[in-house]
Chain A
Amino acid sequence: MNALKAGMIAPEFTLAATPDQKVSLSEFRGRPVVLAFYPADWSPVCGDQLGLYNELKGEFDRYNATLIGISVDGIWCHLAFAKDRKYHFPLLSDFEPKGATAKAYGVYREKDGESERALFVIDGDGAIRWSYVSPVGINPGADGILRELEALGKTRSK
């Protein structure tokens, strides 16, 4: 499966963020969105990766960007995970049909029934500006995301 690349339109999705609230990508039109697909709640590497993004809320705010985590875990699992780790950003549940959003972005691992560890930076017009698939065991950090948000900020202010 090949991840969608820069220049492609980011597929629309509507996924649960809480038991009674759904979030659609199109709601964020006009501002950058960072999608962080990750394999599963609670696994140690994901925890570190999302924990790092959690420390960077101020940086994402500076670029007026919204960070969204997505995995195939159910919403109750997400709620417990986010509460335990004190996350300040939404975790969306790509649960039913399982992995449909990950499949649309080309980052679903059929064999494992989980998504890749993949990052997408989407601009205010809904176009993918940067995508990156990390080896599953390796936490991709945040340098690529921040570089792209900075570049986006520059093109916008021109």
Chain B
Amino acid sequence: MSEAREFKYIGQNTIRPDGFDKVTGRANYGADMSLPGMVWGKILRSPHAHAIIKSLDISKAEAHPGVLAIATHADFPSVTDEAIESGEGSSTLLDLARNVLAKDKVLYHGHAIVAIAAKTAAIAEQALALVDIDYEVLKPVLDVRTAMAADAPLLHADMFTQGLEEAPTRASNIAVRHEMKLGDIDAGFAEADVIVEREFYTPTAHQGYIEPHACTVRYDKDGQSMVWCSTQGHFDVRSSTAKLLGMKLGQLKVIASEIGGGFGGKTTVYLEPVALILSRKSGRPVKMVMNRDEVLKATGPGSASRSKIKLGAKKDGTITAMKGWLAYEAGAFKGSPVMLGCMTAFTPYAVANMYIEGFDVVVNKAKVAAYRAPGAPQAEFAVEMLVNELAVELGRDPIDLRLQNAAKEGTQTIYGPKFKRVGLVECLEAARDSAHYKQALQANQGRGIAAGFWFNVGGQSSVVINMNPDGTGTIVEGSPDIGGSRASMQMMAAEAMGIAPGLLKPIIADTENVAFSQGTGGSRTTFATGMAVIEAAEDVVNQVKQRAASVWNVTAEQVDWADGVATNMAGEERLTLAEVCAGAERTGGQISGRANINARGAGPSFAVHLCDVQVDKETGKVDVVRYTAVQDAGKAIHPQYVEGQYQGGAAQGIGWALNEEYVFSADGLMENAGFLDYRIPVASDLPMIDTIIVEVPNAFHPYGVRGVGESGIIPPLGAVGYAVESAIGAKVTDLPLSPPRVLALIQGNT
């Protein structure tokens, strides 16, 4: 597959096929489904950050008029320690069950304990107040330092740190220790002429999707059940829920609604198993919708982190050593993405000697869930801040220093593979040559540059393309559309078949109408589901050629296919796709293409961001005045939606760097569980976000696609952080850079 390939449809900015529904309010999201006889479920949540449930009495609630059913952890059949995959996190079934409904202990403010189904939402809420719970309140642990101390209160008496050289004898809040290395780290530092070292902190940040979690479910007496929910992966909802409730997969149909944002946070389950229990017990369909308070208190944010990074380089700019220590908050149950942080932190660099240690630490906060390139933004913030500092120490331009040490084809990564062709160098060059980089800064302004790496994944996708007698077709796939992917599927199929995209309608089928497909996450959809779409489209083409061959009495090899038309190379006859489809009944039946794949060869996407800020030195307020996001897409199927991923990732990263954080009282109660005080960027906070799409094709995808969804959130923390550092002339180590922190840095008191 050559880089200079001309595409007929790929690379255009088509109108997305689900666009009409989305701009008219017709599209149905998680909370938009109602069923006859439906009742409402609400959840009672822990008022304490850490407590033992000494007794639980639901009798008054059960007796309240209008209450139909109550669910507690006791309603789960016994669940095991079995590991489950959920999106890009991993967890155990037992932990998932205890998170969904607390067992014996509540482990964070907002932890779900009891669920009640009633005729109206109002009655359900009234009944919550009638549940009697006797708590023994325990001291909460609210940060990694406290959690890792020898005398820390323990969240789980049965948690013994894995990954230590000597098996521990005492329980701990450290779930796992990871270690990765390359070369000889001590020798690396011995060679260095300049060494920089610093500690950093990033806060807990929520994915911030505007749509709260919601589901409508029905558990029928014959055991057949239906779940309608907002999710990134309805097959994962099916498997987690079925396992939690002891159901067979074939009994549970999960329909993915349109999804109002996920960013990794909707790759697990919270409401669905609970709603099914309530539906089973009440005999009615049940609807459950979280409010914003619940979303922020009790659904997985991205981990807070502490890190210590040390870099060494020779005078000539060669980085000889990179060393790191990471501790990530997992929340109430193990499973922070600290290992992914270890794998990605140093990976933009070709450095012979690396060593990194990472700790997965539980604290009394909501269990974390995947958040867009989980684990990478936290670690990369620290590394990129120090690479910028190193550039200053060495008297080098920060892009130039990165070019000198950039990972490229053949670079050995710390986590195992050697890179195939990757586009970091091209991204750095594009950043260096950009109009932004050439623009001079004004007074009180600062500029930051940062890079980021994400692996992207492949995985299983299943697609069927059903052709209609009039030559239109349906692309049946199973990847919930979080950002416009239907348009890309339509274009890839069109390209493979040589017909106009508008003839093909992509639909996201439910778990009974399409074969297993891994969730939308890991930047996999355009790559893996796209690959399956292309393969299914080629299957259609092969069948069409066979049908034409049978009509003309030639072999399929004698049929040429181009631009949607079959030509008999042994004669002159031509048949359009529509004509072949119209005659399908006579030639053997309807035409349907299929692909069930486990896609391999996902290509990493590197990103480089530039950020200029202006700081009000009297108040510490930071304004982002210019921003450019450069990223390698391999091949941009739909350039606008690729740009959209870059811009969206940048905006989330800017929010994380400037104003987003969780505020906890000393007792561990979350104090800012609303959009008023959990401050995501608003329209007036941001400038236009310029984008540069670099295309270094991924040889393992027919059209060169690299996933792009995640890398864009990694560089902003370092780009914004260093821009502020440079504007104020003081070292930045802790995020977010809210005005009080910036003012304190300016005034020299931290």
Are these two chains actual partners, yes or no?
Answer: no
Which A residues fall within an 8 A CB radius of B?
none
